[in-house]
Amino acid sequence: MDGVLFAAALMVPGVWVGIVLQLVDVGTTVVIVDRRGGVERNPVVAHLMGLGGRAWWVVKLAITIPATMWCARYPTLLWLLNICMAGVVIHNFRHMRD
């Protein structure tokens, strides 16, 4: 992504929503898995956890943040993905209460 596209992507509110959702997902997942002994149910992220150890989240964010920015070109797709991510975050918060 060149500098102009990068700057343009950052002007899209849905991109910021997506980035925040990714960060909250990582934070809640760390609490659930590392501190509460939970299990990651997403097979891709579980694989990253196996490969990257405690640094799994760096790889996840290195993939998902640019992908979220790329989705700025397709607002409907961006918002659909944000809705799905919001569901994941809500699920994580509910799991943290248990």
Residue-wise pLDDT tens digits, 23-81: 999 999 999 998 888 888 999 889 988 887 888 999 999 999 999 988 888 989 999 99
DSSP three-state, residue 11: coil
Residues 96/28, Cβ–Cβ less than 8 Å: yes
Residue 16 lies in a domain: no
pLDDT of residue 1: 55
Residue 76 lies in a domain: yes
**Structural domain for 45, as ranges:** 37-98
Per the structure, how many domains does the chain have? 1
Residue 65 lies in a domain: yes
